[in-house]
Amino acid sequence: MLYNLLYPLHEQVQFFNLFKYLTFRSGGAVLTALVISFIIAPPMIRWLRKVQNGGQPIRDDGPQSHLLTKKGTPTMGGLMMLFSVAISTLLWADITNAYVWIALFVTLGYGAIGFTDDYLKVTKKNHKGLSGKKKLLFQFLIALVAAIWITKVTPDGLNHHLALPFFKNVLLNLGVLYIPFVMFVLVGASNAVNLTDGLDGLAIVPIMIAAACFALITYLAGNLMFANYLQIHFVPGTGELSIFCAAMIGAGLGFLWYNAPPAMVFMGDTGSLAFGGSLGAVAVMAKHEIVLGIIGGLFVVEAMSVMIQVFWFKRTGKRVFRMAPIHHHFEKMGWQESTIVVRFWIVAVILALIGLSTLKLR
């Protein structure tokens, strides 16, 4: 909005010329989201603690240490992240850009699903919340709308195509299968991040790492000169998504301040479903869906550990892991929570570097 209001005045006031630069506006988005988070977090945490009266229900079958250290901690902290990202993005991005609105639609839509799930958990005092079938149904409906929207605004020749990393100028035309593919990416990314959110600070840092990577990727993919140099597919308009990703980083930093061990608030499904879905949407719009699987490899491993555990237990009655998702497996092995969190952060950084290398290795 600042871009739309102030940049047209740059001939009268030279300072306003800065607003045409994505780098300047991305920096502004980070700082704005961070400041908003710091302002609204304390009163919101107090309000959540008051209305929830006991905080997020803790799984009885989980690590026993959680019953002692995490009981009473309020959830739905993702609300302050959603608010920060939405306001910051609307302030600094070009609000005539359709990609920006798609990203916000997915983020807020999945956030609403997560909020409903969290609300049912705290009101019913049960960790199950919204049923899995209903949750998936609403996720796929939002993903369907987003997928159709994306194909409408993406240029012909790219709008039904899948780009492959490491190969220049290779596009697979998925045709009618592209819509289901996009839906799978969005729903899969959303639930993978949701499964990762089980320890203080575990999910939010990999989210910020992935957001930082896609801030760079969208900036490059939306710039014809850089896209041609790197031999990646040029998608006009996706550069504005770098501002959205920057807002995610700022909101994530603000949330981490209060989510650092011992956490004062959990993001809940309100945050994890929303920001997992937003990462999926950004990856699809930038034509880097497979790269998301590399950069967000930690989320993939967490989700796969659950699927493997369920499949093998139903088939044999035995468990592959002591507990799933896999971060709980390491807790059961005796690793300290802080050790697991920091080591998983390191893994997330390594995977991010591998993912970014695909931009040059062609």
Residues 88-97, mean pLDDT to the nearest whole number: 96
pTM of the model: 0.93
pLDDT at site 167: 83
Q: From start to end of the chain, where are the E strands? A: 161-163, 171-173
Cβ(256)–Cβ(205) below 8 Å:
yes
Indicate the pLDDT class of residue 262, thresholds 50, 70 and 90. Answer: confident
* Residue 80 pLDDT greater than 80, yes or no: yes
Indicate the pLDDT class of residue 55, thresholds 50, 70 and 90. Answer: low
Per the rule left: phi > 0, alpha: psi between -120 and 50, beta: everything else, 313 is alpha
Cβ(46)–Cβ(6) below 8 Å:
no
pLDDT at site 67: 46
* Residue 70 pLDDT greater than 70, yes or no: no
Residues 209-213, mean pLDDT to the nearest whole number: 98
- Main-chain dihedrals φ then ψ at residue 171, nearest 5 degrees: -135, 130
pLDDT at site 261: 83
pLDDT at site 263: 87
CA distance 142 to 146: 6
Q: Provide the CB-side half-sphere exposure for 227 (13 A, CA).
A: 20
Residues 306-315, mean pLDDT to the nearest whole number: 94
* Residue 287 pLDDT greater than 60, yes or no: yes
* Residue 217 pLDDT greater than 50, yes or no: yes
pLDDT at site 69: 59
Report how far Cα 282 is from the mean position of its chain's Cα atoms: 9
- Main-chain dihedrals φ then ψ at residue 337, nearest 5 degrees: -60, -45
Q: Which residue has the higher pLDDT, 307 or 51?
A: 307
Cβ(144)–Cβ(183) below 8 Å:
yes
On average, the pLDDT of the chain sits at 92
pLDDT at site 103: 98
Q: Provide the CB-side half-sphere exposure for 163 (13 A, CA).
A: 26
pLDDT one-digit tens code per residue, 108-159: 999 999 999 998 888 876 667 788 899 999 999 999 999 999 999 999 989 9
pLDDT one-digit tens code per residue, 6-49: 988 988 999 999 999 999 999 999 999 999 999 999 999 999 98
* Residue 300 pLDDT greater than 80, yes or no: yes
pLDDT at site 61: 56
In a 10 Å sphere around its CB, with 0-12 CB exposed, 13-18 middle and 19+ buried, how is residue 287 labelled? Answer: buried
Cβ(273)–Cβ(114) below 8 Å:
yes
Q: Provide the CB-side half-sphere exposure for 178 (13 A, CA).
A: 25
Residues 313-323, mean pLDDT to the nearest whole number: 92
- How would DSSP label each residue in 91-134? HHS-TT-HHHHHHHHHHHHHHHHHHHHHHHHHHHT-S--S-HHH
* Residue 173 pLDDT greater than 70, yes or no: yes
pLDDT at site 206: 97
Number of Cβ within 10 Å of residue 161's Cβ equals 17
Burial readout 29-64 (b: 16 or more C-beta within 10 A, e: otherwise): bbbbbbebbeebbeebbeebbeebeebbbbeeebbe
How do the residues of the chain divide into helix, strand and coil, expressed in percent and rounded to 5? 70, 0, 25
